[in-house]
Amino acid sequence: MKKQLSKLLFLVVLMGLMTYQTGCKKDETQGKETLNGTVWKGTDTGDGWSEELSIIFQETAFTMIVSYDYGYGAIDTNSSTGTYVYNPPDFTLQVSYDWGYIGINGTIAGTTMILYIYGEDAPILLTKQS
C-alpha cells in the first residue's frame, strides 16, 4: 500500500511539473515581428525639389533608396542600409552612415507607413508596394 501511495504521489508531482512547464512556456513569436519582404515607397516635396523614398525590408535589416530631384534636371540617388526593430504598429530604423547612424521612428497603419524624421517639419508617408 505504501508503494502504491508513493507511486501515486510521484505521478501527481510529475503531472504538476509537466503542467507548470507547458503553462509557463513563453510565446515563441513574442518580440519577433518582422517586415521581411515588404517594400514601401513615397514622395516628399518642397519648394522646387522632391525626393522619392523606397524602403526594402529583409528579416532584421533594410535598404533605403532616396532619389533627390533639385528641380533643375539634376537627380542624385543615394542608398543606405541599417537595422530595424518592429513592435507593431511602431518601429525604429537605425540608418547606417560612414560617420555613425541616425534613428528614425515610425508607425504603420494598414498600407501606410508614417516616418517621423528628426528636423523635418512634417512626417513622410509611404505606401506598401508588396
Contacts of 34 (CB under 8 A, 6+ apart): 57, 59, 60, 86
In a domain, 105, yes or no: yes
In a domain, 71, yes or no: yes
Is the pTM here over 0.75, yes or no? Answer: no
Tell me what pLDDT residue 32 has: 67
Tell me what pLDDT residue 10 has: 41
CATH number at residue 97: 2.40.128.280
Total count of domains within the chain: 1
In a domain, 21, yes or no: no
Tell me the DSSP string of the chain.
-HHHHHHHHHHHHHHHHHHHHHHSPPPTTTT----TT-EEEEEEEETTEEEEEEEEE-SSEEEEEEEEE-SSS-EEEEEEEEEEEEETTEEEEEEEETTEEEEEEEEEETTEEEEE-TT-SSPEEEEE--
In a domain, 103, yes or no: yes
Contact 50, 35 (CB under 8 A): no
Contact 39, 54 (CB under 8 A): yes
Give me the domain span that covers residue 101.
39-128
In a domain, 33, yes or no: no
Residue length, the chain? 130
58-83 pLDDT, tens digit per residue, is: 999 999 999 999 888 788 999 999 99
